[in-house]
Amino acid sequence: MSSSDAALSTPDRDQAIGSGAAAGAPPRYRIGDLCAYLDSYLPPEHIREFYRAYLYGAEAHEGQWRKSGEPYIFHPLAVARILAEMRMDHKCLIAALLHDVIEDTGIDKEQLAESFDLEVAELVDGVSKLSKIDFKSRAEAQAASLQKMLLAMTRDIRVILIKLADRLHNMRTLGAMRPDACRRIARETLDIYAPIANRLGINSVRVELEDLGFAHHWPWRRAVIQRAVHRTLGARAEMMSMVETTLKHALEQEELAGTVEGRRKHFYGIYRKMRDKKRAFDEIVDVVAFRVIVDRVDTCYRVLGLVHNLYKPVPGRFKDYIAIPKANGYQSLHTVLIGPQGIQIEIQIRTEDMQRMAESGIAAHWLYKSGASNGANPTGLAADWLQNLLEMQREAGNSVEFLENVKVDLFPDEVYVFTPKGRIKTLKRGATVVDFAYAIHSDIGNSCVAARIDRRLVALSTVLRSGQTVEIITAPGAKPNATWLNFVTTGKARASIRNYLKNLKQREAQGLGWRLLNAELEVLGTTLDAVDAPRLAAYLREAELTTLEALLGDIGLGNRLAALVARRLVEVDGEDVGTEPRAGEELHPHRLSIRGTEGMVVSFARCCRPIPGDTIAAQFSPGRGLVVHRSECRNLGSPEQRRDHRLDVEWAPDPEGEFTTEIRVEIGNRRGALAVVAGAIAELGSNIETVQSREKDGMTTAMEFVILVCSRHHLAQIMRRLRQIPLVLRIVRLPR
């Protein structure tokens, strides 16, 4: 017995923690047993510090009980045991013992730093939830707490390792919770924590989290798959034994050192493959697989040739994750073979180091101690992912949006593509050229205009496939397009595009707000530049705004009315500047010119589709800005709303761009009629966005076209041209 363990042999120790668990329950670890385990790799002084933390945590949690009825200290001790099995350092283990004291006791971060050190306090604070802030919903609170934890993880990877161990023990003891809470926690585990464990390469934790989450969220489905797997294993037991014996004998014949073990794919992995690939259980070939573990990388390839000589390989089912590792650093050779009785079997071939990395991932590298690393192992790959998290945090609008982007980025399937210089980039399956551009750098993504795949020009929406070489073409004046959000798949690309569009919309809102406010001030005989600075500052304080730009943005987005702001900024004939306008007084006597290039803060109503030449009016829509309607549109509301919701606008003398409008064409029911009408529309320089067709009777068909035109005059030309077609019976503009 070591000196440190002898020092811990006190009656208080076992009395505080209790004895073994009930049958079928997760094991209850004694502090003495855990210290004895730590003695295998930690020095005595670190174990003494760990025991002091245990006493500190036991005292802090005194009187607290878990839902299962056991003392609360059982939980942090079990979390520390999980991390000890990963052979984590003593600071991480101490933080595991204390990970709930800030959240659940009266001890704060400063007290923890004073009792131990700042490093431990930072780790505990990173794991703690945001409990002192009032949130509008559970989803917002969850997102904010996860955001805090993930950002703390970017400073020290041990934060997420503690959280994963915490979640793992909670899942092991989840049966004590209410059924609805079980399902909610299990769903969160499957959506967030298991994918994070996978992203960091900690396979042993991922598999257990997935199977526990599966058991609590879909117990019936798990039971069905479990019975099917046991039935399959029973039927294939003799075949599995034969294959294992054959592989071992072949290794001995070739004098190759290695071990062979059979393995069963875990239940959730089988279920997910059935769901995602829409296959029946009998079509899943890798329910049974074998793993060959050897000493060196070159031996892996020799064994691959050996097994291909023994059994015929299935074409297209070989994957070399040694040459091109997965995003989490996983390395192995995978091949599917036609085994005895024609049953397909999967063989995985890897070295002992690869096996250790596959099970422990980033935990095996101790990222917090390592310095520079390359991208071929979990340390370097995790560092790249953490950098992406920081970029997504900077560009996300709020914690919910950030969490959404993180979930997108945790998707496990990958494609591997090359840069023109031969560097490998790993992206999620379904990623496009734009995703690749943002994966290189945000500036590249923001300015990309085209791309070449294997030296051929392609569209930005092209979906990438493994093995392609992608070259991004950029232009100085290029900028992201809102339509990119329809096809990008990675969290980083989505966050970067949204951030750019958000800032663009804010700048456009400020420009519109300046025009609106200045127009109202001109009616009152002044301009924004001439407004008294102290008066402007006083109004900004009253409105709880920090800058004039924020005020202009609010006006442009329709959150504040320019006329009311103008009246508060100046006095009119000695009136109190805060008074409402007199009866009959128009709030918006000055017409605003619409050019069609105002951007996202001026939109055109789909209900009436105004175009240049129509008489128009605008309506404020909070958060969106101005929505332009035709004056006769019913959705403008009653005239009484004019003073506080509507704005008189007019078209500028030379509006720019194209505008959508809708027409209905009734035509004789003849073959090729649609082509004739579409050709006539195209002749006059208009583009058809959508077309819907329905048969009115056996003789006529009504077609509704949404087309792009420059003006009312352009539309009139198109309608005249269509009336010249003999088949056209009637044509009207919609809405009538």
Q: Is residue 377 part of a domain?
A: no
Q: Looking at residues 705-716, what average pLDDT do you find?
A: 92
Q: Domain boundary at 363, 386, 410, which? A: 363
Domain termination site, one of 363, 380, 408:
363
Domain around 242: 220-363
Out of 144-153, 241-250, 631-640, the most confident range is: 241-250
- Give the SS3 label for residue 288: strand
Q: Please state the rounded mean pLDDT for residues 502-506.
A: 78
Do residue 160 and residue 288 come from a single domain?
no
Tens-place pLDDT, residues 642-681: 555 677 788 888 888 889 999 999 988 888 888 889 999 9
The three-class DSSP label of residue 320 is: strand
> Residue 193's pLDDT is what?
85
Secondary element (H or E) of residue 659: strand 659-668
Q: Which residue type is seen at 249?
A: H
Instruction: List 691's β-bridge partners, or say none.
Output: 705
110 catalytically annotated: no
| pLDDT tops 90 at residue 732 | yes
Mean pLDDT of the chain: 79
pLDDT of 100 strictly over 80: yes
Are 599 and 663 in the same domain? no
- Catalytic residue, from 14, 104, 208, 549: name it: 104
**What is the pTM assigned to this prediction?**
0.58
Q: How far apart are CA 366 and CA 379, in angstroms?
A: 8
Residues 96 and 184 grouped into a single domain: yes
Note whether residue 378 is domain-resident.
no
Distance CA 558, CA 564 (A): 12
* One domain for residues 248 and 306: yes
> At 348, is the pLDDT very low, low, confident or very high (cuts 50, 70, 90)?
very high
If you average pLDDT over residues 345-358, what whole number do you get? 87
| 17 band by pLDDT with thresholds 50, 70 and 90 | very low
| Residues 12 and 134 grouped into a single domain | yes
420 membership: H or E segment, kind and range: none
Copy the structure tokens of residue 631. Answer: 């004056």
Asked whether residue 575 is assigned to any structural domain, the reply reads: yes
Tokens of 416: 């591997």
Choose from 76-85, 97-106, 389-398, 573-582 the range with maximum mean pLDDT.
76-85
Task: Let me know whether 596 and 718 are in one domain.
Answer: no
What's the average model confidence in pLDDT over 629-647?
Answer: 71
pLDDT one-digit tens code per residue, 172-187: 988 878 888 899 899 8
Domain shared by 553 and 692, yes or no: no
pLDDT band at 382 (very low <50, low <70, confident <90, very high): low
pLDDT given for residue 212 in this prediction: 93
The DSSP secondary structure of 437-491, one letter per residue, reads: HHHH-HHHHHTEEEEEETTEEE-TTPBP-TT-BEEEEE-TT----GGGGGT--SH
Angle at CA of residue 151, ends 199 and 447, nearest 5°:
80
CA 707, chain centre distance (Å): 36
Q: Do 622 and 690 reside in the same domain of the chain?
A: no
User: Would the pLDDT of 168 be above 90?
Assistant: yes
Contacts of 515 (CB under 8 A, 6+ apart): 592
In a domain, 51, yes or no: yes
User: Domain with 676 in it: what CATH number?
Assistant: 3.30.70.260
Give residue-wise pLDDT tens across range 108-135: 888 888 888 888 888 888 777 544 434 4
pLDDT of residue 130: 43
Same domain, 681 and 541: no
* Percent of the chain residues topping a pLDDT of 90: 15
In tens, the pLDDT along 507-537 reads: 878 888 888 888 888 878 888 888 888 888 8
Q: Using the 3D structure, point to which of 348, 363, 378 is the last residue of a domain.
A: 363
Task: Assess whether pLDDT exceeds 70 at residue 153.
Answer: no
Is 376 inside a domain boundary? no
The reply to whether 665 and 717 lie within a common domain is yes
Q: Which of 152, 103, 111 is nearest to 132 (CA)?
A: 103
For residue 616, the SS3 value is strand
CA gyration radius for the chain? 34
- From the list 532, 671, 645, the residue with the least C-alpha distance to 588 is 645
Domain count for the chain, please give it: 4
- The DSSP H or E segment spanning 525 is none
Pair (727, 629) in one structural domain: no
- Orientation angle between helical segments 203-217 and 267-277, nearest 10 degrees: 70
The mean pLDDT of 21-35, rounded to a whole number, is 64
299-313, 429-443, 543-557, 639-653: least confidently modelled range = 639-653
Distance CA 484, CA 459 (A): 11
Does any domain span residue 110? yes
Question: Which of residues 242 and 140 earns the better pLDDT score?
Answer: 242
| Residues 36 and 146 placed together within one structural domain of the fold | yes
DSSP, collapsed to helix, strand or coil, labels residue 338 as strand
> Tell me, what CATH number does 24's domain have?
1.10.3210.10
Residue type, 495: A
394 assigned to some structural domain = no
Instruction: Identify the active-site residue in 14, 39, 103, 404.
Output: 103
Residue 161 clears pLDDT 60, i.e. is over it: yes
- HEC sequence for 106-172: CCCHHHHHHHCCHHHHHHHHHHCCCCCCCCCCHHHHHHHHHHHHHHHHHHCCHHHHHHHHHHHHHHH
Model confidence at 285, pLDDT cuts 50, 70, 90, reads low
Residue 446's closest CA among 478, 411, 414? Answer: 478
Lowest mean pLDDT among 20-29, 414-423, 545-554: 20-29
Q: Is residue 481 part of a domain?
A: no
CATH number for position 224:
3.30.460.10
Q: Which of 16-25, 138-147, 467-476 has the least mean pLDDT?
A: 16-25
Residue 587: pLDDT band with limits 50, 70, 90: very low
Active site residue 103: yes
